[in-house]
Every structure is written in structure tokens, then in C-alpha cells.
Structure 1
Amino acid sequence: MDGKSMSVITIADGKVTDIPLGGIAPQVAVTRDDKFVFVSLYDTKEVIQYDLKNGQIIRIPLPGTAQGPIQLYATPDSKLLYVADQGELLGRPVSNEVYVIDIPNAKVISTIKVGKKAHGVVVSNDGKSVFVTNTIDNTVSVIDVPSQRVIHTIPVGKGPNGISYWFETGGMP
């Protein structure tokens, strides 16, 4: 479906349900409570919230400054979703923003300025910090979740892209 859909696979019976989304879907995230799937839609500048229980789809529009969301990640308590707005593709300007979505209310509640070409995003296991790769600036921004502010910028190698978080007691859950 031209990368503009998602497939839901029921493991128990192998049933595959294709769901058209109407936009280029580069990334998917699932909340830890297994209630929602989120899909970033690059060209339509929105995020899809899909309810795993009833199949309801909610389209969450991003702010007018959005250039093209890529990676997204939910906090461990399944209350907030962080969306890296990369831009650059399809002739769009590069972005330096991360959007925070209130999951229960399905709306953007904050915009956080980070480095140029925000791409990868991951949340710490304790839910206190968010890490965002800034591909052009060659940095990783560290966002403090309670204050919704960048508290540190870490210089890294050239062109950081995806990112993972490892914690001492055994890695990603």
C-alpha cells in the first residue's frame, strides 16, 4: 500500500489486518501497557493513535511548524509520547523540534527545541529522561521529562541516527 498503511497481526490465529493510513508511515511505537500503537505520518505531519482493544483510530495533528515526524517513543507509564520531527525529506526544511503528546487526551501538549534534524528518540526506563539524536549537529539532546526542557547536549560522532537505551539491570524491557 505504498508505505501508507500498517498491518495488525493477531498471533493466535495469524490473521492480518491491513489498515490504510493515508500518509507515509516511517515508524511505529507501542505503549508498555499494550493499549495503543502509534504511527508517525511523515507527509501529512500527524501521528496516528490506534486502540488495540477496539480498533479506533485517532489522528493527532502536529503543530504548524512540523516538517515531518520520524521516530517516536512512549514513556514507561504510557502517558506521554515523544515524537522527533526530522524534516528534510520531500524538499522540506530540516527541523529541530520534538513534540510531546498526552496519550490519554490524544493531543500535543509541548514542543521542545533540540538540535538540527531530530531523528532517533528513546525514553529511559525510569521515564525521567528522553534522548534525541540530532543528525546534523552530531549531538544527542537529553530532555528532562518533568520540566520538558533540554538539560544536556552530548557531542557524539558524525550523523547520529537511531538510538537505544541500556540500563544496568538487563537492557530494554
Structure 2
Amino acid sequence: MSEGTLRLFFALPCPTEQAAAICTWRDERALDGRPVSRANLHLTLAFLGAQPVDRLEALLALGAAVQCPAFQLTLDRLTTIGKGFVCLRPSETPAALEYLVATLNERLAAQGVVLDSRPFLPHLTLTRQARNRPHGPAPAFSWRAEHFVLYLSQNTPDGARYVEKGRWPLQAPKATT
């Protein structure tokens, strides 16, 4: 990546307690592939790829302008996607998650950010480069998604490191009277 670009993505970070439980379960199952570090567990909302450094402020403003209700996220399916990515997925995608992704995609497109054309597939990657392709039910790992973030992905000698560049709350549903 050139000096003038940043590798960025919007995501739901996995809470510390859930990340620990997920990693314990993954490691007990001895899933094939290179494990994703506990600190890097997340559910990608929009992968932006290499973006010019001078676009960062506009992306932070975009994140701050997104309004979406908080929601419960439950990952309860084990699957393999792409070229050996072992993942947890939800059996049912919350409507608020679909709305959040659609809103981000719409606003990113309005800023001229070109996104992957594949449909959104909510998942949390457990391992990469797996030769075996496990699938089926998994324990229900669940948490309330109360914020989303913009991450910077940095390559280090120890692998990828994700640095939070911005964080925005998801709102509680409005009470009706």
C-alpha cells in the first residue's frame, strides 16, 4: 500500500467477553487454518480497501451522520466462505444490521467509494487459509451491538493489527407513548 493510502473498513467490534468465549470454543475445536487474533474479531459492515489519506475526515463525518438502532446479534452457524475463511454467521440477520449496512453503502457510494459488488454476508472470521471446510450449528454467541467503528488495518510482522479511527453509537429504539 502506498504512503498516501489507508486500508479501512467499517465494522461491529466483538466485545471482549464474547471474543474470549469465541476463541476458547474455536481453539477447543482445533479448527483448521490460521486463527484470527482475539483483538481482531469483528463483523465487517463495509470494506473500503485502500483509501486516500485525505478522505479520512469525510469518512469520519459519514460515520457520525449514520443513525441506526442498536440490536441483538447472535452468531450461531459455523461455515466456510471464500478460500478457506472459517466463520460464524447468524441464522437470522437482524433488520437493523441490514439497514446499517445499506445506509453505509448508500452514503459511501455518494462519496464515490467503490465497494465490493457481492451481496452482504454477515460473518465473523475465526480462521483463514483452512483446508477443511467445517459447517453446521455452533453455540449461540450473542451480544447487543451498541456501536460501530471505522478501522485502519495495518500490516505488522505479527500479522494484521486493527486500529480504531472512529466510533459511533447505535441508538436505543425510541419509546412509544
Greater helix share, structure number = 2
- Greater C-alpha Rg: 2
TM-score normalized with structure 2 length: 0.23
Greater strand share, structure number = 1
Identify the structure with bigger relative contact order (alpha carbons < 8 Å, sequence gap 6+): 2
TM-score normalized with structure 1 length: 0.23
